[in-house]
Structure 1
Amino acid sequence: MKSQKSLILLSLITAISLMVIKFIAYFITHSNAVFTDALESIVNVIASSFAFYSIYLSSLPKDMNHPYGHGKVEFFSVFIEGALIFLAALFIIGKAIYNFFFPIELTNLLEGVGLVAFTALINFLLGRYLLVKSKKLNSLTLMADGKHLLTDALSTVGLVVGLLLVYFTGLIIIDIILSLILGVFILYQGYKLLRQSVGGLMDESDVQLVKDVVDVLQQHRKDPWIDIHNLRLQRYGANLHLDCHVTLPNYFDLNKVHEEVSEIDKLINEKVGLKTEFFIHADPCLPQCCHYCNVKNCPIRSSEKTIDMIWDVELVTRNLKHFEKEKSN
């Protein structure tokens, strides 16, 4: 968590510095497109400030009021960043439309191009670095900040190209059109962040993460794990909460059941790459399980094994034992 705080602080300091540079570029050029870029940099500063606080809050230990920890604050951080980007984009589009009817003369374009090109390079390098670190630290906040910086860098590259066209052609309308295009692009990026944050707050299933968990279970399954069903995931920042039902031989005593459940817990925590808290409900096997049960020398088997059940997302996430799912199909 200390690493995340240091990275967000670096992002915040960089955002403030680049914001100053972009506004200097705007004041010497009076370019509507440069103003667009400078305005978005204010969003960067506000978003990085909130992200820094959310990293601190998500690092707090569980308490009576937050039994699952504080990790979901990262979704709020992503929501705030997305909302600010969305609002900034609307303002950018509005100003571009205004300047279409009331254009402003542009000055010192080459100097302005040099300044904004420098900010694009810094944002690209920092954005890539944050995305790499977000994967290692499993941080949604770092991921959102990194994507935002890359989006900022990409839009700034388009801005540089457009300003050079204005310089060589003298057509001010290019600056306005460019600002409109960047505004729509930024609007879409804000929408995607908002969509992601709302999905997380509503406990929307992370399909890829569920698939990763199911693949690990399939690859390392043990014979006594007759079936696993009703598997559900919730993500809290860098932590994962997982609950499921596992069918075990009905003659296992409590100690053996606990041992098998602990094996599943250990397996997921070692292989998935996220700190995972498990709630596993153990079901006793039934005679209907025999035809897909892998247990060797079972003392209560009522029929021979006839099929191999391959665990996939659809099979494991349904709230049905495997034989019940066969009937439902």
Structure 2
Amino acid sequence: MPELPLPQSNRGLAVVSLFVSLVALGLKYAAFAVSGSVALHADAIETIINVVAAAGGLWALSVAERPADHNHTYGHYKAEYLSAVAEGTLVVITAFIIGREAVEGWLHPHPALAPWNGLLLNAAATCVNLGWGLIMLRAGQARHSPALIAGGQHVLSDVWTGVALVAGVALIPLLGWPQLDAVLAGLVALNVLRVGWEVMRDSIAGLMDEAPDAQTLGEIGSIITSNGHGAIQAHDIRTRIVGAMTFLEFHLVVPGTMSVKAAHDICDRIEHALRAHMGSTLVHIHIEPETCAKHDNTVLSIPPAGVSPANSGSSAEK
């Protein structure tokens, strides 16, 4: 099955996301209007937040794509995290609003007007969200975009909510228990609260410059040792990922007699390999002579050319 052509810019994806959110909102509000279901009303309320979040994501991605300037010499990438934190906050607020609707539905239950028509419309909106949520999540992961990933996770959480609602609301007329509508709305509120917390947690970690996971750090170390032949070791490696940009800095120990040009060539080789693997990467390498070599467990020993890093080891020198 051929993949759909996607906009090249993250901002273009955000525009499409806003349009899809509006379509889903129209379908879900129609589902509530024809059925009168409290659960479907809760789902429609959540989708309103999706629209607001999509608009916020569009703003954030527009800002993040601006080039660096004299006031923001490292670029505007963190605008994506601000959008994701705001989206998580909105999602949490939505959970409490839906919870209140659930309580009202439990205290004052009423039968749905036309549940089957409402379910068909809600199922259509769920299918729209499923397709677009998967596209956003994959694009966000491929482009290292926190705003797209948060948006995709939010939309997909809406999908599982929709599936549960379609199944649950269909049981109401069969079981003859109208309060099941309120129970389903309460479950929607709990799921929305969970998603909001996860989005906020990941976004705050990005704002706090949390180090990437161990697998990413291991890949970085392997690239340095595989492409740093001529050098002796690398140490004090620090990295952070901000949106689509990776910031990386470390000290590279070379023989004291090595020329500046030779050391520069090694740095270029490492930088090119890092960018080929990680995409947009800003690398700062501090060159040091062997008298500055360290001997602790944070050191990456670089093997001579032709020797496999796996055979030489990447721990501290003995």
* TM-score, scaled relative to structure 2: 0.89
Partner of 1:180: 186
Give 1:279 deviation, angstroms: 0.9
Partner of 2:298: none
Please point out which of 230, 246, 249 is paired with 1:224.
230
Give 1:308 deviation, angstroms: 6.0
Structure 1 runs of 4+ off > 3 angstroms?
Answer: 286-290, 292-296
Q: Does the CA contact (< 8 Å) of 2:29 and 2:44 recur in 1?
A: yes
Give 1:235 deviation, angstroms: 2.0
Answering whether residue 252 of structure 2 is matched by residue 249 of structure 1, we say no
Give 1:12 deviation, angstroms: 0.5
RMSD: 2.2
Q: Does the CA contact (< 8 Å) of 1:70 and 1:236 recur in 2?
A: no
Q: How many angstroms apart in 1 are the aligned matches of 2:96 and 2:103?
A: 11
Please point out which of 66, 88, 92 is paired with 2:72.
66
Unaligned ranges ≥5, structure 2: 1-6, 296-300
Please point out which of 197, 202, 215 is paired with 2:222.
215
Identity over aligned residues, as a percent? 25
Answering whether residue 31 of structure 2 is matched by residue 25 of structure 1, we say yes
* TM-score, scaled relative to structure 1: 0.86
Please point out which of 147, 159, 162 is paired with 1:153.
159
Give 1:132 deviation, angstroms: 2.1
Q: Does the CA contact (< 8 Å) of 2:35 and 2:112 recur in 1?
A: yes
Give 1:217 deviation, angstroms: 2.6
Q: How many angstroms apart in 1 are the aligned matches of 2:313 and 2:211?
A: 21
Q: Does the CA contact (< 8 Å) of 1:166 and 1:175 recur in 2?
A: yes
Partner secondary structure for residue 9 of structure 2:
helix
Q: Which digits, 9 at most, give the CA deviation of each residue in 1:27-60, with x for residues without a partner?
A: 2222111011101101110010011111111111
Paired residues, number: 302
Partner of 2:4: none
For 2:313, the aligned partner's letter is I
Give 1:289 deviation, angstroms: 7.4
For 1:90, the aligned partner's letter is F
- Structure 1 stretch 233-242 or stretch 84-93: which is displaced more? 233-242
Q: How many angstroms apart in 1 are the aligned matches of 2:114 and 2:150?
A: 34
Q: How many angstroms apart in 2 are the aligned matches of 1:269 and 1:188?
A: 35
Q: Does the CA contact (< 8 Å) of 1:68 and 1:236 recur in 2?
A: no
Whose Rg is larger?
1
Partner of 1:319: none
Give 1:102 deviation, angstroms: 2.1
Change (3 A) 1:30 1:288: closer
Q: How many angstroms apart in 2 are the aligned matches of 1:55 and 1:18?
A: 22
Give 1:184 deviation, angstroms: 0.5
Partner of 1:170: 176
Q: How many angstroms apart in 1 are the aligned matches of 2:160 and 2:218?
A: 32
Unaligned ranges ≥5, structure 1: 297-306, 316-321
In the TM superposition, what are the counterparts of 1:1-329 in structure 2 within 5 Å?
A: 2-207=8-213, 208-218=215-225, 220-272=226-278, 274-286=279-291, 294-295=303-304, 310-311=313-314, 322-323=316-317
Change (3 A) 1:287 1:243: closer
Change (3 A) 1:280 1:287: closer
